[in-house]
Amino acid sequence: MRSHELPVAVQRLLQGSSVELMTDGCTAAQVYRIEQDGRCMYLKMQSLADTPSLHVEARILDWLQGKLPVPEVLVYVADDRYEYLVSTEVAGQNGVRAMATLRAEALVELMASGLRMIHALDPATCPFDAGLELRLMQARANVLNGLVDETDFDPERLGSTTAQDILAALERERPATDDLVFTHGDYCLPNIIVRDGMIGGFIDWGRAGVADRYNDLAIASRSIRYNLGPQYEQYFFACYGLEQVDAGKIAYYRMLDELF
């Protein structure tokens, strides 16, 4: 990254700072950690063609200020090729790194309590739609434009299922009802921040909005299965407060996530 190619507003923030490219996460954006005068910031940079848009994430973060512990937007700007988002740091470790010091049960409990915090926000006040109709429209576009990485499918579909197969199944098996709440959209261990054994905050909000709570429950429980083990999935649901788990919706929303 050469600073003279960056927009002026971003260059100003980078003056006198050290910059480190981050390799955590699965976002399309390049993410840089910026240290300057004893404080840390993060710069996300991605092509205007990539989704979700950093402009959407900036708007969501602005709306969440004072509601949840999330980064504060310092700069959002775009040029003719790229968009840039600079935000403050949420101090702590992400959930994957916290695995080195916290018991699996404690992390599951934090995941569940954090998700309850997010879902407790009033969806009637949220201006952002992330519902199934919109997500299916985006999924169709991703399949049509060849943007789905079929080598990154979950094990049960890897090598035996195409993006077209998944899209057809999603259209055919769409749930009959929605349980709408404010959702994170990509609620997984890398996107929660743990500090002193407690929830420090939440990051990566580009897919947030009003949607079925099972979108978050499906992705969160898959993250727990992958990182901590399948034996902790039911414990997560119990900590969240689900008396009965809709296994069909869990499967459906995990399948939907394959196309993003």
Helices 104-119 & 233-240 angle (0-180, nearest 10): 40
Binned at pLDDT 50, 70 and 90, residue 38 comes out as confident
Question: Does residue 246 share a domain with residue 158?
Answer: yes
Question: Does residue 65 share a domain with residue 15?
Answer: yes
pLDDT over threshold 90, residue 2: no
Question: Does residue 235 share a domain with residue 145?
Answer: yes
Question: Does residue 33 share a domain with residue 137?
Answer: no
Least confident of 2-16, 45-59, 91-105, 188-202: 2-16
Q: Are 132 and 212 within 8 A, CB to CB?
A: yes
User: Domain holding 81: CATH number?
Assistant: 3.30.200.20
Question: Does residue 97 share a domain with residue 75?
Answer: no
**Whole-number Å distance between alpha carbons of 31 and 91:** 16
Last residue of a domain, one of 73, 88, 103: 88
Per the annotation, the verdict on 186 as an active-site residue is: yes
Q: What percent of the chain has pLDDT over 90?
A: 87
pLDDT (average), residues 200-209: 97
> Given this model, what pLDDT does residue 15 score?
85
Which are the contacts of 142, defined by CB distance < 8 A and separation ≥ 6?
148, 163, 259, 260
Residue 165 marked ligand-binding:
no
pLDDT over threshold 60, residue 4: no
User: How many independent structural domains does the chain possess?
Assistant: 2
Out of 62, 152, 186, 196, pick the active-site residue. Answer: 186
Question: Does residue 78 share a domain with residue 106?
Answer: no
pLDDT (average), residues 237-250: 97
Domain that holds residue 70: 3-88
Q: Got the DSSP string for the chain?
A: --GGGS-HHHHHHHTT-EEEEE--S--SSEEEEEEETTEEEEEEEEETTSSS-HHHHHHHHHHHTTTSS-PPEEEEEE-SSEEEEEEE---SEEHHHHTTTS-HHHHHHHHHHHHHHHHTS-GGG---B--HHHHHHHHHHHHHTT---GGGS-TTTTTT--HHHHHHHHHHS--S---EEEE-SS-SGGGEEEETTEEEEE---TT-EEEEHHHHHHHHHHHHHHHT-GGGHHHHHHHHT-SS--HHHHHHHHHHHTT-
**Whole-number Å distance between alpha carbons of 57 and 61:** 6
Instruction: Convert the pLDDT of each residue in 155-194 to its tens digit.
Output: 999 999 999 999 999 999 999 999 999 999 999 999 999 9
pLDDT over threshold 90, residue 110: yes
Residue 178 marked ligand-binding:
no
Question: Does residue 195 share a domain with residue 109?
Answer: yes
> Given this model, what pLDDT does residue 25 score?
60
User: Domain holding 139: CATH number?
Assistant: 3.90.1200.10
Q: Tokens in use for 112?
A: 């569940």
Question: Does residue 147 share a domain with residue 19?
Answer: no
Last residue of a domain, one of 32, 64, 88: 88
Question: Does residue 79 share a domain with residue 29?
Answer: yes
Q: What Å distances lie between residue 25 and 79, 116, 186, 203, CA to CA?
A: 25, 23, 11, 11
Question: Does residue 122 share a domain with residue 233?
Answer: yes
Question: Does residue 28 share a domain with residue 131?
Answer: no
Question: Does residue 144 share a domain with residue 45?
Answer: no
Last residue of a domain, one of 38, 70, 88: 88
